[in-house]
Structures are given as C-alpha cells and as structure tokens.
Structure 1
Amino acid sequence: MTPLVTAAVLLAAVTHAGWNAMAHHITDKLVGFTLIAGGGTLLGLAAIPFVAFPASGAWPYLFASAVIHVVYYVLLMRSFRLGDFGQAYPIARGTAPLIVTALAAVFAHEVPDRWAAAGIALSCAGLTGVALWGLRGSRPHWAAIGAALATGLSIAAYTVVDGLGVRASGSSLGYTAWLMALEGVAIPAYAAYRWRGEFVTVLRPFAAVGLLGAVLSVSAYGLVLWAQTRAELAPIAALRESSIIVGAAIGAVFFKERFGAPRLAAAGLLVAGIGLMLHAG
C-alpha cells in the first residue's frame, strides 16, 4: 500500500459515497440506478475504442463480475428502499472487507502480514461501529439489515473476482471500460420494458443527478481496479470502505441523520487501521 495507491483508494471512497448518496436521493430507486448503471454503460462504450482490449484470461472474470454487479445493484436498491442511508450504506460496505480477506487468501493466495491484518481488523472494527451506531435509538428493521448484509456479500464477491480479472487483463483501463459496458445493461433494459413508451419521460427530471452519479461511479471503481493491480486485495477493500465515514457524514448533513461521538470514535479506529496498513506497505 504505497502512498499513491492509498491516495487513489481514498479518492475512490469519497466519490463512491457521493454516487451512493445521489442514488439514495432519487426517490424512485429504479430511476436512480437506471441512470447510474446506464450512464456507466455509455461511458464504458465511449472509452472502448481508446483502451487496450483485455487479454483472453480476463473474460471469464468480466462476465462473472457483470452478473454479480447486477445482483449488487438489485440488493442495493432494496437496501436503500427499506433503510436509512446512514444505516444501509455502512452495513452494506462494512461486511465486505473481512470476507474479502478470507476469499483473497483462498483464491489469490494473499495472506496479510501481522501489520496488515491488524490494520484490516481495526478498520473493520471502525466500520462495524458506524454500522451499529446507525441502528441506535430504533428497533432493528430486519428486512433492511438482511438486504444490506446480502449487498455486502455481493460486494466481497465482485471485489475478488475483479481483483483477479483486472490482473489477468493486462490493462486496468480496458478492463474497466468493458466491465462498465457489460454490467450496466440489465437494469436499463428492465426499466425500458417496465416503462414502455415513457422511458425518457420518467428519467428526464433526474437525468443530470443520475448521470453525474454515473461519472462518479465509473471513476471510483476505475481507481479501485487500478489499485488492485498494485496492491493486495484485502487492504484495498478495507481502505475503500472508508467511504462509510464519508457516507455517514453525508447522511448527517444532507439527510438529517445523526452522526454523533461514537461515529467519530469509529472514524478514529479506521484512521488507525489505515496507518497500520501503510506501515505494512
């Protein structure tokens, strides 16, 4: 985890929290995700003529990731529909790093050293603290929590699949462009079928916000994919989920959700974990 890789992943975390907040802001979640996923497809298609074609070994990962991302979008839409942004987002993102650590050890043969493992553990403790604080003062909404946990599992799955795929591709830009082109087709296609004859009319009022979200989404994941070619998967996954702190702050400022001292403490644990991962690097 060099300073450059760390900076790239932290920037990805901020942009990721931004596009998730935009998706949550659009009341009709299908509208939001149609614009974000469809916009990502358009950006990917526009980039394809200018980037390297992924190597043959990357294509099984690309197709698998595209399917997993569709599942992820569906689960994330359900999470946002059922729960508060400050609750659903931390739980969805906070469950992924430890699962990625285990999967990366099995499939990528990446076993973190003691410093990296301590950093990942501290970061996950901070992320869990943010998630639990989101449940404070209200009865648990188990359907929302279940959807958010399932979203976290899908995040862990595509993180490992894409980490292996982008390394096999020979080009992080090529892999990113083709992944965006493939993964974003399903949801707009479903929306077009559902809103037959009214597709453009339904989307037009939210087009600017949704397409900005698409730019942020593609930028965020492109940075992560590049980072995965330069560092191990588990520390990147833990560092990327610092977006939870940004998401909690966005929830407090824009959606009037509580932040509170426990979330500040959780943020402190996350920063300490990042420091240990940098020491490992």
Structure 2
Amino acid sequence: MVLCAALMHATWNALMKGAPDRAVMSGLLCIGNAVFGAGLLILAPVMAPEAVPWAIASIIIHWGYFYMLNVAYRLGDLSLIYPISRGLAPLLVALGAQVWIGETLPLYGWLGVGAISVGISVLAAPALRGALPVAGVMAAVCVGVIVASYSLVDGLGVRASGAPLAYIGWVFVGNVTVALYVLPSRWGRLRALPARAIWIGLLGGIISGAAYGLVLYAKTLAPLGLVSALRETSVIFAAMIGVLWFGERPRARRVIAAVIVALGIVLIAGQG
C-alpha cells in the first residue's frame, strides 16, 4: 500500500516538474487535495472528537511546509533540496515515535529505515559537496523536520479518529486555506497559465491526496517509522523516472541509491 503511494507521489511530482509558477501550482495542488478530501467526507463516518486537535495541528504544520518548501526551492534545485528533506524524515519519525509514544522498532526495522535514509542521501551528495549554499541546506533540513512533524501528528491523529477516511478528508479539506491565501493575490498569474498546467496542478493535488491518504491509512496498521521510511521511497521512484523518462544524469548515483533503498525495503519486509 505504501509503496504504491510512493510511486503515485513520484508520478505527480514528475507531472509537476518544470511548473511555470510554483506558488500558483501549490495553490492548485491544495484545491485538488480539498476535492479529494471532500469526496472522502461524503463516504466516511464522523471521526472521534479526540482527533480534531490533531487534524488542526496537521493543517497548521502543512502551512509551514508549503511556505518552507517555497523558500527552499528559491535557494536550491529540486534535485538537491528534495533528497535532503525527505531523507531526514524517516529517521526523525522513527526516533520521534520511540520517544513520544514508545513505539520501538526491531533491529531489522531500524536497519531498514537507516538503509532507506542512506540511499536517499546518496542523491543529496552533490549538495553536501558544496553545490548547494549553506542557507539552502538549512532550509532543506527545516523541510525535513516539518515533514517528520506532520507525519507524527497525522499518525497519531488517524489512530485517534476511529474513522481514518474522515480524518484524511478533513486534513485535505483544510488545505484549501492555503489556496485561499495563495491564489487571490496571484489571480493574474493564474489566468496566464495554460489550461494544461492548471489541469495538471488540480490532477496532481488529487493524486497526491490519494497517495498520502494511503499512507495515513497504513499508519493505523503498522509502526509510524516503518511507514514513513517506505513512504520516502518516492524519492527513488522520482529519480528513476528522471533517468528513464527525462534522461537525467548522473545515472550511476541514482541506480546505487535505488539498490540501497531496495535493501532497506527487504529488511523492513523481512522483520514483519
């Protein structure tokens, strides 16, 4: 389930690659999220009141995520920022889950999480050798901390909800507040976008919503650290799409990273 979600996440990132206006596209993405969330709420039962604070916290943290992501992408390329931020998240989530909720992973689980983080970090090697300014590295680290934060919050919230689909729906409907903030002041830039770009943004939001919804549901079935680690394999899927679809280089580093991550997945699967 989580690997399927990771592939979906990588796919919509590929669709969004080269967006002419990232701020406007993030607004369209959030509208697509809200459409997906509203569809879930039509089908889902009412969630438990205990989950409401977690859902509100998640929406607030996602505001910080979208803001910090835009800052990071102003300071460095997607191919450098993304692996750093996503590579940190699995270890931070696993550590946070152990400290705050006592969710301890077995040895193979820790080895698998570590291998996935190392594999993702292989893609970030150029950034750590000076290709990315210090400010860009710090921004990417901040994004990683934010990703880990909403991963933990949503993991606890969806478990407390008693109705995972309802929790997922409310979190995504709440993301429409980002669009209401971003788009009105950029109406001219939105109208200047070609219709194809607008539809890609909306479709990307629906696909990303479905992908993260699968991840949240999986968090009701498995430890948060393992789910987060498998979720971040989207970075490797995206890198391989870059090699096979866009002809990006260097190819060797991406293949090595994919092999290391695959080993992590085997370790995680083996411990279950």
TM-score, length of structure 1 as denominator length:
0.89
Change (3 A) 1:150 1:255: farther
Does 2:150 align with 1:165? no
Task: Please name the residue that 1:179 is paired with.
Answer: 171
User: How big is the shift at 1:254?
Assistant: 5.4
Instruction: State the one-letter code of the partner of 1:242.
Output: T
Q: Does 1:231 align with 2:237?
A: no
User: 2-side partners of 1:136 and 1:164: how far apart?
Assistant: 33
Please say which of residues 44-53 and 207-216 is displaced more in the overlay.
Answer: 44-53
Deviation at 1:255, TM superposition (A): 5.5
Using the alignment, how far apart are the partners of 2:245 and 2:72 within structure 1? Answer: 18
Q: In structure 2, do the counterparts of structure 1 residues 21 and 84 end up closer, same or farther at CA, with 3 Å as the change threshold? A: farther
Partner residue of 2:207? 216
User: Which residue of 2 is the match for residue 276 of structure 1?
Assistant: 267
**Aligned match of 2:133:** 141
Q: Deviation digits for residues 47-74 of structure 1, max 9, x if unmatched?
A: 3122111111111100000011111112
What whole-Å deviation, never above 9, does each CA across 1:31-90 have from its counterpart, x for those lacking one?
110110112112212331221111111111000000111111122223334322222221
Q: Which amino acid aligns with 1:215?
A: I
Aligned residue in 1 for 2:181? 190
* 1:15–1:217 Cα contact (<8 Å) kept: yes
Deviation track 1:245-269 (CA, whole Å, cap 9, x = no partner) reads 1122234455554232232222111
Q: 1:190 to 1:253 in 2, by over 3 A?
A: farther
User: Secondary structure at 2:132's aligned position in 1?
Assistant: coil
List 4+ stretches of structure 1 deviating above 4 A.
Answer: 253-256
| Contact kept in structure 2, 1:248 and 1:259, CA below 8 Å | no
Query: Pairwise CA RMSD of aligned residues?
Result: 2.0
User: Paired residue for 1:61?
Assistant: 54
| Correspondence for 1:243 among 228, 234, 237 | 234
TM-score, structure 2 as length reference:
0.92
The DSSP-based 3-state class of the residue aligned with 1:53 is coil
Give a deviation string over 1:13-33, Cα, whole Å, max 9, x none: 111122233344212111110
Contact 2:36 2:210 in 1 (8 A): no
Unaligned runs of 5+ in 2: none
> Which residue of 88, 96, 115 corresponds with 2:89?
96
Q: Distance in 2 between matches of 1:56 and 1:173?
A: 14
The 8 Å contact of residues 96 and 155 in structure 1, kept in 2 or not, is answered as: yes
Partner of 1:4: none
CA contact (8 A) 2:51 2:157 kept: yes
* Range that drifts further, 137-146 or 95-104: 137-146
Quote the sequence identity (%): 36
